[in-house]
């Protein structure tokens, strides 16, 4: 009897535990076709279809068109979304999602490997598909993400994941999409431990630092040409895709001079798909960026200016400055990993300066997909592409409108519950009892 009681208590405990601590179960494959009817469809390429009918089958968008006006007859399930908005799933670039669970708990951090040149370090390996942080992205419309290692000169190789998966293999949307290079800085903080004065001063080793990067690239390039590599060099080998154009090279640089040096470097090294990441002063060199066909994943939009003298709204406006000049822009998130769910609001922030909602949307959907090289299958609400999309009550780029009732990843009807919504419900219920 006592044992039975024990088991009951235990199972209750487990139940509670399961309820508050387990992650949402990934949704099963789409088995039945369905249509979303009556919503304003934000295509993601700058266009809108009012009162749209979106037909989804086998995880793909089979058709998308305005309602004809005559009574449509639907063969399959219909989701009524009249007065609502449908968006392609937002794609967060330049994140560390799934690599850090609790920032201050070192044991839960897997984002930064030791060593300087780490292209062989792959984020996908440590990506925690069951992270509570990952699931918290989805109720805000962030359904896909690029996750990348941090640190070093070459941080490692990033991957694109979809955010509803059992494990990392399952999550991988584009494995090993590119390599992240941190461009050296021409200014450096005084190293007090070497007796240098504090404050940022010109880095006397800047050229030397660049030479080290160049040397690594040249060696890696030479290695890739070796016919029979008996002594396989893992870091060199991991660069092959960068040289043969199957992988991007993401170069992180912020100041004008560093960006110019990075552009010249990419050209000298024959990098076919370079992407600038950060780009705080990229607006000063737009012609060079365009000539080099180099898109930009801009730094966190909601950031402070780097200097007292800079316009208070420079980081807010930066994406528009670039887009207006004809540079392809996506919004990244290089801040706290858990904040990536605010990505839609970064796009919204840019609309303060006159960028249209639809253009702003591109920066977190189609542009992101193009830059990551996944635009053939995702990033817009177009026929043939993945049915990775969501239904929002209002403008999803505004906090008040971003209320999501349904979200699909490749047609799968995913849960919008999270650890946080469960706690919300649990405690709302507690107070309802009183």
Partner 1 sequence: MLFKQLSFIGLLLCSLTFYAQDYFPKNDGVQSKNNNYTVFKNATIHTSPTETIKKGTLVVRDGKVVSVGKNVNAPANAIVIDLDGKSIYPSFIDIYSDFGIEKPKRPSGGGRTAQYEGSREGYYWNDHIRAEQEALGSFKYDSKKAKEYVAAGFAVVNTHLHDGIARGTGMLVALNTEGDDASRILDASSGNHFSFDKSVTSRQSYPGSIMGKTALLRQVYHDADWYGKGNVPTKDLTLEAVNKNKDMVQIFEGSGLYDALRIDKIGDEFGVNYLIVGGGDEYKRIDEVKALNRTFILPLKFPDAYDMENPYNASYVSLEDMRGWNQAPTNPKVLTDNNVNFALTTFSHKSPKDFKDHLMKAIKYGLSKEKALSALTTIPAQLIGQSDKVGSLKDGAWANFMITSGDIFDKDTDVYEHWVQGNKTVLKDMSIKNIDGKYNVTVAGKTYELTVENSMEKKPKATLKKGEDKVPSEFSYSDGWMNLTFADGDKQFTRLVSNVSDGLSGKAILPSGAEQSFAASRTGDAKEDKEDDDKDKEEKEITVMPMTYPNIAFGFKEKPKQEDMLFKNVTLWTNEAEGIIENTDVLVKDGKISAIGSNLKAGRATVIDGTGKHLTAGIIDEHSHIAAFSINEGGQNSSAEVRMADAVDPDDIDIYRNLAGGVTAIQLLHGSANPIGGQSAVMKLKWGSSIDDMVLEDKKFIKFALGENVKQSNWESYSRFPQTRMGVQQLFVDYFQRAKEYEDKKKSGQPYRVDEELETIVDILNQERAISCHSYVQSEINMLMKVAESFNFRVNTFTHILEGYKVADKMKEHGVGASTFSDWWAYKYEVNDAIPYNAAIMHKEGVTVAINSDDGEMSRRLNQEAAKSVKYGDVSEEDAWKFVTLNPAKLLHMDDKVGSVKVGKDADLVLWTDNPLSIKARAEKTIIEGTVYFDMERDAQMREEIEQEKNKLTTMMLAEKNKGLKVTEPKKKDKQHLHCDTLETIH
Asked if 200 interacts with partner 1 (CB under 8 A), we say yes
Query: Pick from 4, 114, 194, 307: which binds partner 1 (CB under 8 A)?
Result: 307
Residue 381 DSSP SS3: coil
Q: How far is the CB of 331 from partner 1 (least distance, A)?
A: 14
Q: Which residues contact 118 (CB under 8 A, 6 or more apart)?
A: 149, 151, 152, 154, 155, 156, 235
Q: Site for partner 1 (CB under 8 A): which residue of 104, 193, 194, 228?
A: 104
**Shortest Å distance, C-beta 361 to partner 1:** 13
Is 228 one of the binding residues for partner 1 (CB under 8 A)? no
Helix, strand, or coil (residue 48)? strand
What does the alpha-carbon distance between residue 83 and residue 394 come to, in Å, rounded to a whole number? 8
Q: Which is nearer to partner 1, 290 or 353 (CB)?
A: 353
Give the residue from 21, 129, 27 showing the smallest Cα distance to 422.
21
Interatomic CA distance for residues 183 and 209, integer angstroms:
9
Q: What sign does the CA torsion over 324, 327, 330, 335 have?
A: negative
Does 338 contact partner 1 by CB under 8 A?
A: yes
CB of 352 to partner 1, least distance (A): 5
CB of 55 to partner 1, least distance (A): 29
Paired tokens of 201: 């001063």
Residue 397 engages partner 1 in binding (rule: CB under 8 A): yes
* SS3 label, residue 261: helix
C-alpha span between 143 and 176 (Å, rounded): 18
Could you tell me which stretch among 2-10, 70-78, 197-205, 240-248 binds partner 1 (CB under 8 A)? 197-205
Stretch that binds partner 1, among 44-52, 87-95, 103-111, 377-385 (CB under 8 A): 103-111
With CB under 8 A as the contact rule, which of the stretches 149-157, 262-270, 320-328, 416-424 interacts with partner 1? 416-424
Q: Is 16 among the residues that bind partner 1 (CB under 8 A)? A: no
Position 403 contacts partner 1 (CB under 8 A): yes
Question: Site for partner 1 (CB under 8 A): which residue of 65, 191, 201, 267?
Answer: 201
Part of the chain binding partner 1 (CB under 8 A), chosen from 181-189, 224-232, 288-296, 367-375: 181-189
Dihedral (Cα; 303, 309, 312, 313), 10-degree rounding: -80
Q: Which of 11, 207, 244, 352 binds partner 1 (CB under 8 A)?
A: 352
Does position 213 interact with partner 1 (CB under 8 A)? The reply is no
Cβ(296)–Cβ(329) under 8 Å?
A: yes
Tell which one of 75, 198, 232, 429 touches partner 1 (CB under 8 A).
Answer: 198
Q: Among residues 33, 78, 112, 132, which is the contact residue for partner 1, using CB under 8 A?
A: 132
Contact assessment for residue 38 and residue 50, using Cβ atoms and an 8 Å cutoff: no
How much of the chain is helix, strand and coil, in % rounded to 5? 35, 25, 40
Q: Where are the beta strands (DSSP E) in 318-382?
A: 329-331
Which span sits near partner 1 by CB under 8 A: 215-223, 325-333, 361-369, 413-421?
A: 413-421
SS3 52: strand
Eight-class DSSP state of 239: T
Mark the segment that binds partner 1 (CB under 8 A) among 362-370, 376-384, 395-403, 406-414.
395-403
> Which SS3 state, helix, strand or coil, does residue 184 take?
coil
# binding residues, partner 1 (CB under 8 A)? 54
Residue 407: count of CB within 10 angstroms of its CB: 26
- In angstroms and rounded to an integer, the radius of gyration of the C-alpha atoms of the chain is 24
The distance of closest approach from Cβ of residue 86 to partner 1 in the complex, given in angstroms and rounded to an integer, is 18
CB of 350 to partner 1, least distance (A): 9
Torsion of CA 223, 225, 228, 234, to 10 degrees: 30
Contact set with partner 1 (CB under 8 A): 101-105, 132-133, 186-187, 189, 198-202, 255-257, 302-305, 307-309, 311-313, 336-338, 341-342, 345, 348-349, 351-352, 395, 397-400, 402-403, 419-421, 423-424, 427-428, 431, 434
């Amino acid at each position: 009897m006592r044992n039975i009681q024990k088991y009951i208590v235990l199972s209750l405990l487990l139940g509670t535990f399961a309820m508050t601590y387990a992650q949402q179960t990934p949704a099963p494959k789409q088995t039945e076709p369905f249509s979303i009817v009556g919503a304003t469809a934000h295509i993601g390429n700058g266009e809108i279809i009012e009162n749209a009918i979106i037909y989804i089958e086998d995880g793909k968008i089979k058709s998308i068109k305005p309602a004809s006006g005559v009574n449509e007859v639907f063969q399959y399930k219909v989701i009524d979304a009249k007065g609502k908005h449908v968006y392609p799933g937002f794609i967060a670039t330049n994140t560390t999602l799934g690599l850090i669970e609790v920032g201050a708990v070192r044991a839960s951090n897997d984002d930064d490997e030791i060593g300087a040149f780490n292209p062989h370090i792959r984020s996908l390996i440590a990506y925690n598909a069951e992270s509570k942080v990952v699931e918290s992205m989805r109720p805000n419309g962030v359904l896909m993400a690029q996750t990348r290692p941090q640190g070093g000169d070459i941080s490692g190789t990033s991957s694109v994941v979809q955010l509803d998966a059992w494990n990392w293999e399952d999550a991988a949307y584009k494995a090993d999409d590119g390599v992240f290079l941190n461009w050296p800085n021409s200014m450096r903080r005084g190293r007090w431990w070497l007796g240098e004065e504090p404050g940022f001063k010109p880095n006397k080793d800047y050229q030397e630092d660049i030479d080290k990067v160049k040397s690594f690239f040249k060696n890696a390039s030479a290695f890739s040409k070796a016919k029979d590599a008996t002594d396989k060099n893992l870091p060199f080998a991991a660069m092959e895709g960068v040289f043969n154009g199957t992988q991007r090279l993401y170069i992180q640089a912020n100041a004008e001079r560093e960006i110019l040096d990075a552009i010249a470097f990419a050209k000298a090294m024959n990098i076919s798909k370079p992407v600038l990441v950060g780009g705080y002063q990229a607006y000063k060199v737009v012609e060079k960026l365009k000539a080099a066909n180099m898109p930009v994943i801009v730094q966190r939009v909601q950031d402070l200016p780097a200097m007292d003298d800079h316009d208070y709204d420079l980081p807010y406006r930066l994406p528009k400055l670039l887009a207006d000049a004809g540079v392809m822009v996506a919004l990244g998130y290089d801040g706290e990993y858990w904040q990536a769910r605010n990505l839609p609001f970064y796009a919204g922030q840019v609309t303060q300066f006159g960028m249209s909602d639809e253009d702003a949307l591109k920066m977190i959907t189609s542009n992101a997909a193009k830059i990551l090289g996944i635009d053939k299958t995702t990033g817009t609400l177009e026929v043939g592409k993945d049915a990775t999309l969501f239904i929002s009550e209002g403008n999803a780029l505004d906090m008040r409108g971003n209320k999501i009732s349904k979200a699909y990843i490749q047609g799968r009807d995913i849960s919008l519950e999270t650890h946080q919504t469960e706690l919300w419900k649990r405690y709302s219920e507690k107070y309802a009892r009183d």
